[in-house]
Chains A and B, each alone.
Chain A
Amino acid sequence: MNADFMSIIEAIQQQTDSAGIREIMYGAIENYGFRSFIISGLPDRGQDVRPFVLLSGWNEEWYERYADLGYVHLDPVARNCFSTTKPFDWSDAPYDREADLPARRVMEEARDFGMDEGFCVPIHMEGGMQGAVSLVGGTQELDDKRRLELHMLALYAHGQLRFLSSSRPDLAPRRAITGRESEVLKWVAAGKTAGEIADITGLSTRTVNQHCENAQQRLGTNNRVHTVVEAIRHKLITL
């Protein structure tokens, strides 16, 4: 792997929003002769593609038309992603040119929007979910090595976008133990026995033990030391 390619995939993984990835992708694909791209999940039949789109560099008008008319379900390029794991040229996406008129219409209209050639990387996710990274531009210059690089680039970009879209701060894990539990754990961490903690906090020894056991259950730990260690590690208590 050459140094340029390594720094591109490193940069993708450092991005904290999709705008950053868009910029890197535009810079990167230009070197391979591509002009634009889309990164998207592929919806089940009948579903709107829009919620699945992770990043689009499509022409606005084409994007709206493609989504409004449900072209993702007719597009031979999108459909082919369900039947192969290997990247392919758009022109190699199979369809019946005589009989499959809807597919032909999508391909012809795309051509009218200047998207006559391209390269598509299918993305297969766990549980049979499908995605695609599709690049607009000629593929004549691509040798096997460059195809493999684009394949990896697509996997990194798709993965990072998926990570960013699934790790919104409003979904961050909530505080896993209660205030009382963290107070008791702090005293445990300070080396106090249950009896001593009872004296300090005015709780009964039984309640102190109960708080420890509850915290242990919430954190999925095995004993009191393990609970304290996990609570510190997750910054649930500070010493």
Chain B
Amino acid sequence: MRVYSIRAPADRYSIDLLERNYRLRHTIFVDMQGWEAIRRPDRRDIDAFDTGDATHLLLLDGEELVGGSRFTPLDKPNLLQTVFPGLVQGTFPAPPSHGADWTRFYVRPDRREGRRRAPESAALFCAMMEYALLEGYCFITFVSTIYMLEHGVSMGWRITPLGAPALIDGKPTLAAWIEVSEEALANVRRVTGQTAPMLVERGMSHDTLPAPAAARH
């Protein structure tokens, strides 16, 4: 498994991968999780934040897309401050340019069933911390049900609420930030048994592109 980070895709492979991501997101978030508000007739989940500012971390197993996440710099229009300002009562730990908003986390449901800790989500969690360190972010914000607090803390992440939880669709939901640090990366790697970096850059420049996975192994 490997995680590609894609931003403003330039090559055909990345554009195609991003397209598959939008369709899979629609299946998962709309069809399976019932987010009717974002349903679209073309069955692609694309919102106001899927812009050139967004970076997509996409998890591939072979050539199959099995998970993903999206990051938006907090000094650009973002979901947290646009859609959920009511959940934010506290202040960020650093200027907005030092943080990113984490949204649309998913692992394909058939990959999560009956697994004690699915390697797919472990890979994505490792990759997101690698990505945040690489970009020089010092915090990551998110909006989630409060259950994410247990998941994150159990991986050795420091998580601080940005405000009190509110009931959204009947579920206690909060905004919070995760501290980005080498320690957080070491902890999530240790807990998930991940020893090697997961993140592969893609779509930044043709010169540095690794050979297609099929050719590598």
B115 to chain A, nearest CB (A): 4
Q: Mark B162-173, 1 if CB is under 8 A from A, else 0.
A: 011100000010
Contact string against B for A residues 160-190, beta-carbon threshold 8 Å, 1 for contact and 0 otherwise: 1011001100011100100000000000000
Residue of B nearest to A147 (CB): B172
Partner pick for B153 among A127, A160, A222, CB 8 A cutoff: A160
Interchain nearest-CB distance for B73 vs A (Å):
23
Residues of chain A lying within 8 A (CB to CB) of residue B197: 219-221, 230
Which residue on A lies nearest to B155, using beta carbons? A163
B40 within 8 Å of A by Cβ? no
Question: Could you say which of B24-32, B49-57, B78-86, B184-192 contacts chain A?
Answer: B184-192
Alpha-carbon gap, A145 to B172, bound state (A): 11
Residue pair A155, B149 in contact (C-beta under 8 Å): yes
Chain A residue contacts of B156, Cβ below 8 A: 163, 167
Shortest CB-to-CB span from B141 to chain A, Å, is: 15
Q: Evaluate contact between A173 and B116: CB separation under 8 angstroms.
A: no
A129 within 8 A of B: yes
Indicate the size class of the contact surface on chain A.
Answer: 35 or more
- Closest residue of chain A to B192 (Cβ to Cβ) is A166
* Interface check A148, CB cutoff 8 A: yes
B-contact bits for A116-153, CB 8 A (1 contact / 0 none): 00000001111111000000000000000100100110
Chain B, 138-164, contact with A by CB distance < 8 Å: what is the 0/1 string? 000000001101111111101111011
Complex Cα spacing A1 to B200, Å: 39
The answer to whether B155 and A152 touch across the interface, beta carbons within 8 angstroms, is no
Say yes or no for B195: interface residue by CB 8 A criterion: yes
Nearest-CB distance from B174 to chain A (Å)? 8
Contacts A152-B149, A160-B154, A220-B197 aside, 14 further interface pairs with beta carbons under 8 A come to A1-B90, A6-B160, A126-B118, A127-B112, A127-B114, A127-B116, A151-B172, A155-B150, A158-B150, A158-B154, A162-B153, A172-B190, A218-B196, A230-B197
**In the complex, the 9 A-B pairs of residues with the closest C-beta atoms, listed nearest first:** A159-B153, A220-B196, A162-B154, A155-B150, A159-B150, A159-B154, A127-B116, A127-B115, A155-B149
Which chain A residues have a beta carbon within 8 Å of chain B's beta carbons? Answer: 1, 6, 9-10, 13, 85, 123-129, 145, 148, 151-152, 155-156, 158-160, 162-163, 166-167, 171-173, 176, 218-223, 230, 233
* Interface CB pairs A-B, < 8 A, 19: A1-B90, A6-B160, A13-B153, A85-B147, A125-B150, A126-B117, A127-B118, A148-B165, A152-B146, A152-B165, A156-B149, A158-B154, A159-B150, A159-B154, A160-B153, A163-B155, A220-B195, A220-B197, A221-B196
